């Protein structure tokens, strides 16, 4: 059984490649290294002791992508490749729409040509925009508030239309909440190119001494301690969710959408305190204004994934903090050693 993983050198993709290889799948990885490094792929082999095919290719390059399909007997595709920075998407929306939406269109056209109709797509809790209630269920109203989130919703709609046109497709839309943490080996993890936008990589850089303190964006939210609440999920639990979704798409046809989170919301202060407790690193912080576009709380109702996929996140906040720090400590400069 051979699985094509687009964006397999990236943060979530690399962790999922490990789970796939450990479960006995063959994998073919495609990535253009726009937001990742070849070293991540080397480490996947180091951890799993298994080799796999890799193509350095851009999804927008139809010829290069078609070569991947003509040279391999692919059974299903897990599609991670995409751009994901919310602020950047506001500055360069056309680039985001082209990369994410056109890239997916090209991928689906080639899949159709090669009669491969099993697909798992990386969507995001961002499609919910400002949730009207928490926990958020899959049938909550949708309304992303930035171009990044809209690329995800547009792709979900395209894939729904694709299924309506041809019921032989089997598609799983996975809406991730806030993935953090790293592989327990400490060899792979999240490696931001620039100043991190997201909380956990920022905390990691404070812990390692690259940044002075965490700026907490707002202390007057309607939450238990005034700071924003999110559903942080360990990236390895998330990766395992893909294997469950894969079993489902391989065995059926249809299209379905699942929230992948823990179902528990933690605040910024909860996360900092847990990180300090489990790593014994002091994390200085101060409060600044709210970040534009932020919401007070967002966490998932995961009942559907629990029941239909037979998947449940197993790791807790301390595991997430411990593994994040282990990765950062072992790789102070990420993959750029």
**Residues found near ligand NAD in the complex (CB under 6 A):** 7, 9-13, 31-36, 58-60, 80-84, 99, 103, 122, 124, 176, 179
Among ligand UD1, ligand NAD, none, partner that 72 touches (CB below 5 to 8 angstroms by kind): none
CB of 26 to ligand NAD, least distance (A): 20
CB of 105 to ligand NAD, least distance (A): 12
Active-site residue numbers? 148
Q: Which residue has the tokens 């180091």?
A: 46
CB of 66 to ligand UD1, least distance (A): 31
Among ligand UD1, ligand NAD, none, partner that 281 touches (CB below 5 to 8 angstroms by kind): none
Among ligand UD1, ligand NAD, none, partner that 10 touches (CB below 5 to 8 angstroms by kind): ligand NAD
For ligand NAD, the closer CB: 170 or 259: 259
User: Where do the DSSP E strands lie in the chain?
Assistant: 2-6, 26-31, 53-56, 76-79, 118-124, 170-176, 178-180, 214-217, 229-230, 232-234, 254-260, 266-267, 285-288, 297-298
Q: In the complex, which residues of this chain contact ligand UD1 (CB under 6 A)? A: 86, 124, 126, 178, 197-199, 202, 214-217, 228, 230, 268, 291, 293-294
**CA nearest neighbour of 178 among 10, 35, 299, 273:** 299
* Cβ atoms of 69 and 110 closer than 8 Å: yes
CB of 85 to ligand UD1, least distance (A): 8
If you count them, how many residues does the chain have?
A: 337
For ligand NAD, the closer CB: 79 or 326: 79
């Amino acid at each position: 059984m051979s699985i094509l993983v687009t964006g397999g050198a990236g943060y979530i993709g690399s962790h999922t490649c490990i789970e796939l290889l450990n479960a006995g799948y063959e994998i073919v990885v495609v990535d253009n290294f726009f937001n990742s490094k070849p070293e991540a792929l080397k480490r996947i082999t180091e951890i799993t002791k298994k080799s796999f095919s890799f193509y350095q290719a851009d999804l927008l390059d139809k010829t290069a992508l078609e070569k991947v399909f003509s040279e391999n007997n692919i059974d299903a595709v897990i599609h991670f490749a995409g751009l994901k920075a919310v602020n950047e998407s506001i500055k360069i929306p056309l680039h985001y729409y082209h990369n994410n939406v056109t890239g997916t269109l090209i991928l689906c056209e080639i899949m159709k040509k090669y009669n491969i109709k099993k697909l798992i797509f990386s969507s995001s809790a961002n499609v919910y925009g400002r949730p009207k209630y928490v926990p958020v269920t899959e049938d909550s109203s949708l309304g992303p508030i930035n171009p990044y989130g809209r690329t995800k919703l547009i792709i979900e709609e395209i894939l729904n239309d694709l299924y309506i046109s041809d019921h032989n497709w089997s598609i799983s839309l996975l809406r991730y909440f806030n993935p953090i943490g790293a592989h327990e080996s400490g060899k792979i993890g999240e490696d931001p190119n620039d100043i991190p936008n997201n909380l956990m990589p920022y905390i990691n850089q404070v812990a390692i001494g690259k940044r002075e303190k965490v700026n907490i964006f707002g202390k007057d939210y309607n939450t238990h301690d005034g700071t924003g609440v999110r559903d942080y999920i360990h990236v390895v639990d998330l990766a395992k969710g893909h294997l469950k979704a894969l079993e489902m798409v391989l065995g059926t046809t249809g299209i379905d959408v699942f929230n992948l989170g823990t179902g528990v919301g933690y605040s910024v202060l909860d996360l900092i305190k847990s990180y300090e407790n489990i790593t014994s690193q002091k994390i200085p912080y101060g409060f600044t204004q709210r970040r534009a576009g932020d919401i007070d709380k967002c966490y998932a109702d995961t009942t559907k994934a629990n029941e239909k996929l037979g998947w449940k996140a197993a790791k807790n906040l301390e595991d997430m903090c411990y593994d994040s720090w282990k990765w950062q400590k072992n790789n102070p400069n990420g993959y750029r050693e």
